[in-house]
């Protein structure tokens, strides 16, 4: 299917624009001279209103369909190439969607001037679009005006609707389903509605107030409230990257901060006095209403449901551990796919490291850019734990709660007691998967959770929080790797530990990974060689613990990718990787204390010496008896 974008920009086309907005009449567009052969009957054309010094709002107004292909070519004496085009509106928006409102839809960028422009814009009235761009624009239209959903599904076939309403790249940190975006859009609409109604309520309140002592007209009523309302409306705040007036918030911390900024930044004394007086009045208004405005007008609290109706038997707190290369991360990745299969939940992956902290895991105040792209402000920025918790709590309020998963890689590379902090208490789960004990949320977290675009309500609604039963926390760990920190018994008790054996899933690489190394006249197999090295490490001469041995995927499968005969395709690549990974691991870590005895078939004074020897004698570096005592026995067992 072909899609095009058409811009109406001539200030004289007022009647045409009115017909388009009405949507009931067919219309003709003139002065076109591009893409004549592609504009066929039934083709879909997005209609955009633009131009300079025009009487209409500029932006996307809807979708039309060609009912009369290019005709009357040459009607224009000034340009013989110009033709006319007959169209009919099939989707009409109640109000235009401006270009900046498409910033969330990455696929709508550079879409014929409809979305944000990054590549320079061609000066032509009609332009072709890709299917991907068209689907993103249609998605934006439906999210902007929900009653178009039914019409879109009537116009387009099921396969196209699947593209429009399915997963789509959005600039919101994650892909979102149509239903999730509807909730996001509803929150935005709530903020706009609240801002409007809060302004009206402030007007009513101020009209009943008396001017304070020490001011002109003390004790008298405010004859006109509009100057104060206008001043407050000019004070802008940023909510989720969108600019609003101060009336969009009742957060006393935000309002008092604005007052402090104004006091420090006064330039014009008259303007400063006017703004300072207005903010003080707004603060008094909030104090007298006891922040009840937020509850009664817009931001109604929807109770949290920790014990949802979700029916999933998977463990909620789970740690998969085992030796290096046993496929721990792969196992969780595969289990994650199964958990999310045919569901619309979410997951987020985070990797712990020695300096990872509580503020990174849970959240903290950070400098962020204002909507104007110029000013810096401080906002609470949630960490992965809070992000997944919020997703789970939102989902728990619905009729169909979905699973939300936090994946933690290398959990014991950080000091878990420090990273989890008081969240540690939430890890105790009851039989239903809900936290047994609650914790008191900090003021920062309570304020964040109560934001209209997060969970809504009042900060007091979130004094105590729990982990719901639709939130899963899965992790991997190496118990004996370098740079890991111990876990105390109390922390371990709150997790279900799953051990991946040293040869888990090695049947998946059996019969492949064969190579003829130096000093040999027949191929050896990577999996058998790995087992032989493990056998020597765990022998009575070295007594290396199992968690230091090597799993079948210690080397990535691409390293020993093999042909139909099982022979490694990239022999040089395998040898280089074996030296940089296997020999390095053995020399610097696993057998570090006994490396000279372990590499007893060569000069082991330096790591480089062992590598040079491997190029010359292959597995002979492990000693003259290694093949007979270890490799052959492992091959026979296999």
pLDDT in tens, 454-506: 888 888 889 999 999 999 999 999 876 666 888 899 999 999 999 999 998 89
433 dihedral zone (left: phi>0; alpha: psi -120 to 50; beta): left
Q: Give residue for tokens 């958990």.
A: 339
Distance CA 348, CA 405 (A): 7
3-class DSSP state of 428: coil
3-class DSSP state of 273: helix
CB within 8 Å of 394: residues ≥ 6 apart: 183, 455
Structural domains present in the chain: 3-171 (3.10.590.10), 183-298 (no CATH), 317-499 (3.40.50.300), 506-637 (no CATH)
Torsion angles phi and psi, residue 78, rounded to 5: -80, -20
Name the pLDDT band for 265 (thresholds 50, 70, 90): very low
Burial classification of residue 394, based on how many CB atoms lie within 10 Å of its CB (0-12 exposed, 13-18 middle, 19 or more buried)? buried
* pLDDT above 70 as % of the chain: 88
Greatest mean pLDDT among 31-35, 120-124, 170-174 lies in: 31-35
Q: Give residue for tokens 């009449």.
A: 25
Q: Where are the beta strands (DSSP E) in 101-173?
A: 126-129
Distance CA 525, CA 534 (A): 14
Q: What is the mean pLDDT of the segment spanning 511-516?
A: 94
Q: Give residue for tokens 């550079």.
A: 110
Q: What is the mean pLDDT of the segment spanning 600-608?
A: 95
Residue 87 contacts residue 62 (beta carbons within 8 Å): no
266 pLDDT more than 60:
no
Torsion angles phi and psi, residue 355, rounded to 5: -95, 5
pLDDT value for 185: 64
pLDDT value for 253: 59
Q: Residue 520 corresponds to which tokens in the numbers above?
A: 């040999």
Own/partner pairs, 458-466, CB within 8 angstroms, 24+ separation: 458/291, 458/294, 458/295, 458/299, 458/301, 461/301, 461/304, 464/438, 464/439, 464/440, 465/389, 465/426, 465/438, 465/439, 465/441, 466/306, 466/426, 466/434, 466/435, 466/437, 466/438
Distance CA 384, CA 407 (A): 9
| Dihedral sign for Cα atoms in the order 19, 22, 26, 30 | positive
pLDDT value for 295: 43
C-alpha distances (whole Å) from 79 to each of 9, 124, 467 are 18, 14, 69
Q: What is the mean pLDDT of the segment spanning 509-537?
A: 94
* pLDDT above 90 as % of the chain: 53
Count of other CB atoms within 10 angstroms of residue 358: 18
Question: Closest Cα to residue 622, out of 539, 511, 509?
Answer: 539
pLDDT value for 159: 85
Instruction: Say which DSSP state 57 is in.
Output: -
pLDDT in tens, 147-203: 899 999 999 998 899 888 887 766 654 455 565 566 666 666 777 888 888 888 889
pLDDT value for 559: 94
Q: What is the mean pLDDT of the segment spanning 46-74?
A: 91
pLDDT in tens, 209-225: 888 777 777 778 887 88
Distance CA 575, CA 149 (A): 58
CB within 8 Å of 51: residues ≥ 6 apart: 8, 9, 10, 11, 58
Own/partner pairs, 218-221, CB within 8 angstroms, 24+ separation: none
Question: Closest Cα to residue 299, out of 188, 185, 184, 191?
Answer: 191
pLDDT value for 262: 46
Q: Residue 626 corresponds to which tokens in the numbers above?
A: 């290694």
119 pLDDT more than 80:
no
Own/partner pairs, 606-612, CB within 8 angstroms, 24+ separation: 607/583, 610/583, 611/579, 611/583
Q: Strands 3-8, 44-49: parallel, antiparallel or unpaired by DSSP?
A: parallel
Mean per-residue pLDDT of the chain: 86
pLDDT value for 241: 55
20 pLDDT more than 50:
yes
Give the residue, 428 or 282, on which the prediction is more confident. 428
Report the range of poorest mean pLDDT among 396-410, 479-493, 542-556, 561-575: 479-493
Q: Residue 29 corresponds to which tokens in the numbers above?
A: 């567009």
Question: Closest Cα to residue 9, out of 47, 45, 44, 54?
Answer: 54
Q: What is the mean pLDDT of the segment spanning 433-439?
A: 95
3-class DSSP state of 93: strand
pLDDT value for 594: 94
pLDDT value for 518: 93
Q: Residue 343 corresponds to which tokens in the numbers above?
A: 């569901």
pLDDT in tens, 370-418: 655 566 778 889 999 999 999 999 999 888 899 999 999 999 999 999 9
Distance CA 156, CA 139 (A): 13
Name the pLDDT band for 5 (thresholds 50, 70, 90): very high
Distance CA 605, CA 88 (A): 83
| DSSP H helix total and E strand total for the chain | 22, 19
Torsion angles phi and psi, residue 510, rounded to 5: -65, 140
Crossing angle for the helix pair 269-289 and 252-264, to the nearest 10 degrees:
160
Report the range of poorest mean pLDDT among 100-104, 384-388, 542-546, 621-625: 100-104
Distance CA 591, CA 597 (A): 9
453 pLDDT more than 80:
no
Beta bridge partners of 63: 46, 91
Q: What is the mean pLDDT of the segment spanning 280-306?
A: 69
Q: Residue 49 corresponds to which tokens in the numbers above?
A: 């209103």
Q: Where are the beta strands (DSSP E) in 324-479?
A: 346-351, 363-369, 376-382, 404-409, 439-440, 464-465, 471-477
Which element (helix H / strand E) includes 29?
Answer: strand 27-32
271 pLDDT more than 80:
no
Alpha helices in 212-297 (DSSP H): 226-233, 252-264, 269-289, 292-293
Concatenating the DSSP letter of every residue in 244-261 gives EEGGG---HHHHHHHHHH
Q: Strands 317-322, 471-477: parallel, antiparallel or unpaired by DSSP?
A: parallel
pLDDT value for 267: 42
pLDDT value for 480: 66
């Amino acid at each position: 299917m072909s899609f095009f974008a058409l811009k109406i920009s001539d200030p004289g086309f007022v009647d045409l624009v009115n017909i388009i907005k009405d949507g009931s009449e067919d219309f003709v567009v003139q002065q076109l001279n591009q893409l004549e052969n592609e504009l066929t009957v039934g083709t879909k054309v997005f209609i955009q209103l633009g131009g300079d010094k025009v009487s209409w709002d500029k932006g996307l107004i809807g979708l039309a369909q060609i009912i009369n292909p290019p005709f009357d070519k040459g009607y224009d004496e000034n340009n013989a190439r110009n033709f006319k085009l007959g169209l009919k509106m099939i989707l009409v928006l109640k109000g235009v969607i401006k270009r900046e409102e498409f910033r969330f839809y990455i696929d709508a960028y550079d879409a014929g001037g409809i979305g944000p422009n990054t590549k320079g814009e061609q000066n032509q009235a009609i332009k072709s679009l890709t299917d991907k761009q068209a689907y993103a624009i249609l998605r934006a239209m439906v999210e902007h005006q929900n009653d178009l959903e039914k019409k879109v599904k009537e116009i387009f076939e099921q396969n196209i609707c699947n593209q429009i309403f399915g997963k789509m790249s959005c600039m919101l940190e994650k892909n979102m389903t149509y239903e999730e975006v509807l909730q996001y859009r509803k929150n935005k609409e709530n903020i706009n509605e609240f801002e409007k109604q809060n302004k009206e309520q402030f007007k009513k309140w101020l009209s009943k107030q008396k001017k304070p002592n020490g001011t002109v007209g003390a004790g008298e009523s405010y004859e006109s409230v509009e100057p104060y309302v206008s001043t407050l409306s000019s004070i802008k705040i940023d909510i989720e990257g969108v600019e609003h007036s101060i009336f969009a918030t009742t957060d006393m911390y935000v309002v008092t901060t604005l007052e402090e900024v104004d006091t420090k930044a006064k330039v014009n004394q008259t303007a400063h006095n006017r703004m300072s007086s207005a903010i003080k009045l707004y603060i008094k208004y909030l104090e007298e209403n006891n922040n009840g405005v937020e509850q009664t007008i817009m931001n109604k609290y929807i109770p949290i449901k920790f014990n949802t109706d979700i029916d999933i038997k998977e463990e909620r707190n789970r740690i998969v551990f085992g030796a290096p290369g046993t496929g721990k991360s792969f196992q969780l990745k595969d289990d994650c796919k199964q958990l999310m299969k045919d569901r619309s939940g979410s997951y987020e992956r985070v990797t712990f490291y020695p300096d990872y902290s509580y503020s990174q895991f849970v959240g903290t105040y950070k400098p962020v850019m204002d909507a104007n792209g110029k000013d810096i402000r401080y906002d609470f920025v949630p960490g992965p734990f809070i992000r997944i918790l919020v997703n789970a709590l939102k989902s728990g309020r619905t009729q169909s709660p979905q699973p939300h998963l936090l994946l933690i890689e290398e959990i014991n590379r950080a000091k878990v007691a420090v990273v989890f902090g008081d969240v540690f208490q939430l890890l105790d789960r009851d039989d239903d998967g809900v936290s047994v004990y609650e914790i008191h949320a900090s003021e920062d977290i309570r304020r964040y959770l109560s934001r209209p675009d997060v969970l809504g309500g009042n900060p007091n609604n979130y004094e105590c929080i729990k982990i719901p039963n639709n939130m899963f926390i899965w992790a991997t760990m190496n118990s004996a790797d370098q740079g890991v920190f111990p876990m105390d018994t109390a922390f371990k008790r709150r997790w279900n530990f799953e051990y991946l054996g040293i040869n888990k899933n090695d049947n998946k690489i059996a019969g492949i990974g064969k190579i003829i190394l130096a000093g040999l006249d027949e191929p050896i197999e990577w999996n058998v060689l790995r087992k032989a090295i493990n056998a020597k490490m765990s022998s009575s001469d070295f007594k290396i613990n199992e968690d230091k041995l090597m799993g079948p995927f210690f080397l990535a499968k691409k390293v020993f990718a093999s042909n139909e005969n099982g022979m490694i395709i990239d022999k040089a690549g395998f040898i280089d990787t074996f030296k940089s990974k296997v020999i390095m691991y053995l020399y610097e870590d696993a057998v570090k204390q006994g490396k000279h005895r372990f590499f007893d078939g060569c000069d082991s004074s330096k790591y480089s010496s062992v590598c040079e020897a491997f190029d010359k004698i292959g597995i002979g570096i492990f000693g003259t008896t290694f093949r007979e005592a270890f490799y052959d026995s492992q091959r026979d067992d296999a």
